[in-house]
Amino acid sequence: MEFVVNKREFVKALSRVQSVADKRSPMPILTNVLIRAEASGAVHFAATDLLLAVTGTMRADVKKAGSVALPARHIFDTVKALPEGEVTLTVEKNFQARIKGARRRFDLAGAPGEDFPSLPEVGNVPMMSLPAEDIAELIALTSFSMSTDDTRPHLAAALFETHRAMLRMVTTDGHRLSKAERSVSGVQTGSKLLIPAKAIHELRRLVDEARSEKREDGSPAMISLGAASSQGPVFFQRDGMTMSSKLVDAAFPSYEQVIPTSTDRSVRVSRQALLEALRAVSLVSADRTFGVKLSITPGRMVITSENPEIGAGMDEIDATLTGPDVVIGFNSKYVIDVLSSLSCDEVVLDLSGELDPGVVRPEGRTDYIGVIMPMRI
């Protein structure tokens, strides 16, 4: 196998896949990046940790087709360390790879490309095209309430739902829930995919890359999405790159049931004011439970926090209350997460009793809600 390509192209292609390679895998082949050159001039890259796989393609001057698996970390570092300009990759017998740029060169020991696990292929999976911007927003609005506990895969995941012209993402860690929606064209079929958290983080990178690339015609960056079946895998594509992920084989909680349909009272406050007050007051309890108490009366909201080992803090902000007074406790982190993911001026808190779930939503909009279970302080 042999090809010649510009160093920058090579680095770019490698950087996209090498992060997925599982550098500490007990299966040594997974620490590699697969590089496969076709006589047509296409060079394919792939890396996988068996949960996720990322593949990419670049154009090169292919002298001899073939494939090789090379250690992800080393190939990336060595190509980066070559001088600017043309780079040649040659694979000799025994899968010895030589990477040469100008008069600098590296020799790396590789493995046969055939040893690399076969990766899921898009094939004729129907794909729908969605604006990268919308996906980025949905991720920002919901990913913070995924569980970080991988032993509970159904919560360490995001539910991706499409329905009519609607794309919806829902996450919950069992204490709080976020649901965000965007209406998009191009969605016909209804589907429900439970995507593992790790894939969501990788998707965020893919989406950010797509958004950062200037497009000549000024059209919005798009991401294609499709799933082979409800068992997966799910594919995300942008030009030249495909990411696939297994789906979580577990049931997501039936989230509609935990979203309150009506509440006794609602409070309107400035998002920024509440955010600042919470950040400040919760300092007192930051090393423990992050518990804060909100005492809401017509016209104002008093935020307090106590810690027997440190002391107490309190702040007061203006608030418009409809309904009776209430005192309710929350984990300030949960409220802060929601407030800082939003960008609106005012938020509304829909509350019932001090033990009932509370809802945080942007004033005047219905495309996002955060549901938070109060804390009993």
Partner 1 sequence: MPPVAVIALLAADVANQIAAGEVVERPASVVKELVENALDAGAETVTVSIDGGGLARLAVTDDGAGMGPDDLAMAVVRHATSKIRSADDLIGVATYGFRGEALPSIGSVSRLRMVSRARGALEGAECLVEGGAPAVVKAAGCAVGTTVSVEDLFFNTPARRKFMRTPPTEGAACVETVVRMALSRPDVRFVIRRDGKVVREFLRHPDVAARVREVWPDETLADLRGARGAVRVTALLGAPERARTGASHLALYVNGRHVKDKVLMRAVAQAYGSTLDAGRYPVGAVFVQVPPEEVDVNVHPQKSEVRFQSQGQIFEAVMTVIRDSAANAPWTRAVTRPDAFWSERLPQGPALEARGAASTTADAERDASPGAAEPRPSPAPMVPLPERADPGALGVGRALTAFVTELPETEAPQDPWGRLKQAPYPPMPYAEVSPPRGGASRSSEPVRDEGPHAEAAPRGDSGLSASSTFSGLHYVGQVRKMYLVCEGEGGVVILDQHAAAERVTFERLRKSFAARSVAMQPLLVPERVELGADEVALLEEHSAALLRIGVELSTLGPTTVAVRAVPALLTRADPRRLVRDLVAELSRQGYDFSRAVDLVLATMACHGSLRGGEAVADDEARALLRALDTVDFAGHCPHGRPVVFSLRWGELERKVGR
Chain residues in the site for partner 1 (CB under 8 A) = 22, 24-27, 49-51, 148-153, 172, 174-177, 196, 246, 248-249, 253, 258, 286-289, 291, 308-309, 329, 331, 355, 357, 371-377
- Candidates 338, 321, 345; CA nearest to 373 is 338
The amino acid at residue 30 is L
CA atoms within 13 A on the CB side of 69: 17
Which is nearer to partner 1, 92 or 249 (by Cβ)? 249
Q: Is 240 helix (H, G, I), strand (E, B) or coil?
A: coil
From edge to edge, which strands make up the β-sheet containing 42-48? 111-112, 66-71, 32-37, 42-48, 52-59, 241-245, 234-238, 222-227, 128-131
Residue 190: exposed, middle, or buried by beta-carbon count in 10 A (0-12, 13-18, 19+)?
A: exposed
Other beta carbons within 10 angstroms of residue 85's beta carbon come to 10
Q: Which DSSP state fits 36?
A: E
Cβ closer to partner 1: 90 or 332? 332
Nearer to partner 1, 78 or 331 (CB): 331
| Nearest distance, CB of residue 255 and partner 1, angstroms | 8
- What is the closest distance, in whole angstroms, from the C-beta atom of residue 154 to partner 1 in the complex? 10
**Hey, which residues does 91 pair with through a beta bridge?**
97
Work out how close the CB of 336 gets to partner 1 at its nearest, in angstroms, rounded to a whole number. Answer: 14
Cα within 13 Å of Cα(31), Cβ side? 12
Minimum CB separation from partner 1 for residue 248, in Å? 6
Question: Minimum CB separation from partner 1 for residue 233, in Å?
Answer: 11
| Closest to partner 1 by CB, 28 or 85 | 28
162 vs 172, beta carbon nearer partner 1: 172
Q: In what side-by-side order are the strands of the sheet with 358-362? A: 191-196, 157-163, 166-172, 176-183, 368-372, 358-362, 346-351, 265-270, 311-322, 299-307, 291-297, 326-331
Report, in Å, the least distance between residue 20 CB and partner 1. 14
Name the residue nearer to partner 1 (CB basis): 272 or 295: 295
Q: Go through 302-318 and write b for each residue having 16 or more CB atoms within 10 A of its CB, e for each that does not.
A: bbbbbbeeeeebbbebe
Task: Please provide the distance, in angstroms rounded to a whole number, between the alpha carbons at the two ends of the chain.
Answer: 66
Min dist. Cβ of residue 136 to partner 1 (A): 23
Q: Which is nearer to partner 1, 118 or 151 (CB)?
A: 151
Query: Shortest gap between Cβ of 96 and partner 1 (angstroms)?
Result: 28
| Between 226 and 329, CB nearer to partner 1 | 329
